[in-house]
Structure 1
Amino acid sequence: MRDRAIAIVESPLQLINANEYIKKYALESKTDFYFVSSRGTHNLDQLRSTYKALKLKGKVFEVSVLNIDKSIVTRLSFYLKIIRAARKMPKNYSLVLVGHMLSIYQNVLANTIKNSECIYLDDGNASVAQIKQLKKEKIKSFSPFSKRIFPLLLGFNVNLRYGKKGLNYFTIYKDLIVENHPYLCFDINDLEYLKSEYGKKEINKNFVYFIGTPFYWNNKSYENFEQDIKKVSEFYQNKKVFYFPHRYESKEQLEIINNLGWKIVKNELPIELLLIELENLPLEFGFFYSSAVDNISKLIPNMNFKSFEIDNTEFLEDGKNIYKLYRSYEKKNMITVIKL
C-alpha cells in the first residue's frame, strides 16, 4: 500500500521522469519532493519552474549549495547539509523515487527511509550505460569506496536498494529491458503525460531548433567551441535557428551564439516542457550531444535530428563516453551524425 511517496531529484529531467511515474500510478496527492542542487541557482530555479509547469502538488524540501566544486570546503559543507537533511527528513514514506542512482547525495537521503519501496529513474544518456552494467552484474554501488567512506563513517548507507524481487527501474529505454531478470525489475516509462500535452503542431520548414550543450574541457587550451559552432552556422545558413541553452552553459558560450544571429530562447523550463508552449515544431533538431534527444525522439516520432560531432572529444572530461554516445547515434535511424 503506497500511502505516501517522496521523489528525490537533482535535475529537471529527473523531475519529469518522476512525474511520469506519479501520473502513471495516480500518486499526485500522495507525493512530496526533495530538490538537491549543487551547481548554482539556475538548476534550482529550473527545478522550481518545472514543478510549477507540471502542476505538481506535494510539499517541496530543498538542500543546495552554489558551487560544490569551488573547494574542498564547499564539498564538505554540502555533505554536511545532506547529512542534516537526512536526519530531519520525515520517515513515514512507503515509496521513494530516486532521480539518479549514481548520486551519493540522493542515495543517502533515500536510504534513511527504512522499509520503503525504492524506484530508480532515468537520468538521460547516462542511464543506458548503467542499465547495461547492471544487467551484467549485481552492483552494490557505482561510487568508489573513497567517495562512500565519509557518509559511512557517519552511519549513512549509500548503496543501491534491492528489494525482495530485485532493483526497481522505471525507464524509457524499452530495448534494454529484460523480462524475468534475476535481480532487475523493469517498468516502462512511455512518457504518456508529456505525449498527451503535445497535441498536433504544425512544422515550420524554415525553423531549426538547436539544443545547447555545456562543454567541460580538461584544459581550456583545448576548447574550440567558437570554431565548431561557426561550422554549424554555415550548415544552417538558409534556416532560422532557435537556440535552446542548457542551464549550465557559460555566458561566454551564449555570447558566441548571440553573435551568430541565432535567436536564444531563454526559459526556466527544460526543452521537453517548453516545446508544449511553442506554436510550431521545427524541420529538425540540431545538437552536439544531449540527453533531451532521447525524450524528444519518443515524444515526436518521425522528427529529424542532426548531431554535430566535434573532433576532439578526448579532451572533454567525459570524453570516452561522449565518443561512444556519438557512435550510438550513428545506429539510430532518426539521427544523422555530421563530423565537423
Structure 2
Amino acid sequence: MKNLFIIGTPLQLINAIEAVKHFKLSNNILVIVHRSLEANRVQMDYLKSLYKWEEIIDVEYSRHSSIFKYIDLVKYLKKYSYKYIFISKLEVVPKIVIPNVTKENVFLLDDGVLTISIYENQIKPNKINKYDFKEIRFLFFGLNIKIKDKINLFTCFDLEPINGIEIVKNELNFLKETYLQNAKNNYENIYFLGHPLNESLVKKDVYISNLLSLIEKFNKKIIYIPHRGETKEMKNILSSIDSPLFNVVDINMPVELYFLENKIYPMQVIAYYSTALITLSTIYKECEISFISIPNGTSIDRDLINIYKIFNQEGFQELNL
C-alpha cells in the first residue's frame, strides 16, 4: 500500500515530512497544489529535497475551471490503495480525492491558523461535508463527494480527540534531530514574526508604533521576519525605520527552518498571532515566547480567539505596550 500527501504550502510540506518519519512510512506520493504566491514555490522547491518521495505530482491551481485537471488526478490516484492520506485543508482537491480512492486512514496536517479553524468549525461540529458548486459539479462526472472517513489530526496543537478522532502529537522530531545540534543560543536579538497586515485588526501606525515600543522596552535589536504574504509596500515601510536596533530580514523560507539551518537558537520570539509560535515553542523549549494581543475593543473573529486561548494554555507571555 502507498501513502498520499496533498499539500500546498512550505509549512504543510515540513509537516508532511514529519509525518513520514513519525509513522515510519514508505511508498509515499506527494501532490503539491501550487497557487499564485511565488515565495511558496521557491521554498517548496528546496523543501522537496529534504526527503526522497516515490513520486511528486505538481498540480497548478487556476482561477479558471480546473475541473478536468482534477478529474484526471483522481483517475490516476485511484490506481493505488493507501494506508494513510494526509491533507492540510478541506478544499476541492482533497475533498474529491478522499471519497474516490481506497484508503484506511485520513489525517489533517498543521497549517497554522487554518488548522484551528478546521478543527473548531468543521471537525468538532461534524460538518466536514459542506459543499459549494465547485464540489457538486463533480457528481456529473461520476465522482463521489461525500467524505465518510474520520479526519484525524497530526498536530503540534493540544486539541481534544472529539467524535472518535485520533490526535497524534507532532513533536517536530525530524527537524530537531536533523538540525538542532550545535545551535547557538542567541540572547542578543529579539525575533519578531510579521503577519500580513489587516488594518481592521491593527492599524498600520499602531503596528509600527508597537515595534518601536519593543525597541524601547527591551533595548535589544529587533530582527523583523516578514510573513511571506506581506506586501512589498509594507516591507519598504518597515525597512525605513531609522534605528540601529531594528532590522528587516526577508528569509524566504519557513521561520522554523531558517533558525535550524543557520544554527540559531532564538531565546526570545514575539508576534501578534503567528501560529509559528507554537511550532517554535515545540522545537526551542528554552525560548521565551510572547505575543501582542489584538485590543479587546476590536472585532476579532472566533479563530483568533481560539488562537489566543491556545497561547494562554501554552503559557506564552502577553505583552502590554
TM-score normalised by length of structure 1? 0.79
- The counterpart of 2:223, out of the listed 242, 248, 255, is 242
**Contact kept? 1:96, 1:117, Cα under 8 Å:** yes
Cα separation, 2, equivalents of 1:159 and 1:253: 42
Which residue is 1:208 aligned to?
190
- Unpaired runs of 5+ residues, structure 1, are 66-73
Tell me the secondary structure at the aligned position of residue 319 of structure 2.
strand
C-alpha change, 1:41 and 1:157, in structure 2 (3 Å) is: farther
Which residue is 1:307 aligned to?
291
Code of the aligned partner of 2:71: I
- The counterpart of 1:58, out of the listed 49, 54, 60, is 54
**Contact kept? 2:272, 2:291, Cα under 8 Å:** yes
Paired residues in the alignment total 315
- The counterpart of 2:16, out of the listed 15, 18, 36, is 18
- Written as runs of structure 1 = structure 2, the 5 A alignment for 1:111-126 is 111-115=99-103, 117-126=105-114
Which residue is 1:282 aligned to?
266
Which residue is 1:329 aligned to?
311
**Contact kept? 2:136, 2:145, Cα under 8 Å:** no
Which residue is 2:75 aligned to?
87
Instruction: Measure how far apart 1:33 and its partner are.
Output: 0.7
Cα separation, 2, equivalents of 1:320 and 1:94: 35
Code of the aligned partner of 2:314: K
**Contact kept? 1:49, 1:268, Cα under 8 Å:** no
CA RMSD of aligned residues (A): 3.0
User: Once the two structures are aligned, what percentage of the paired residues are identical?
Assistant: 23
Tell me the secondary structure at the aligned position of residue 56 of structure 1.
coil
Cα separation, 2, equivalents of 1:147 and 1:313: 37
TM-score normalised by length of structure 2? 0.84
Cα separation, 1, equivalents of 2:77 and 2:19: 22
Tell me the secondary structure at the aligned position of residue 252 of structure 2.
coil
Matched, 1:35 2:19: no
- Unpaired runs of 5+ residues, structure 2, are none
C-alpha change, 1:265 and 1:50, in structure 2 (3 Å) is: farther
Tell me the secondary structure at the aligned position of residue 248 of structure 1.
coil
Tell me the secondary structure at the aligned position of residue 193 of structure 1.
helix
Code of the aligned partner of 1:255: N
Instruction: Tell me the alpha carbon deviations over residues 181-200 of structure 1, each in whole angstroms, 9 at most, x when there is no partner.
Output: 66313333222212213125
Cα separation, 1, equivalents of 2:206 and 2:125: 42
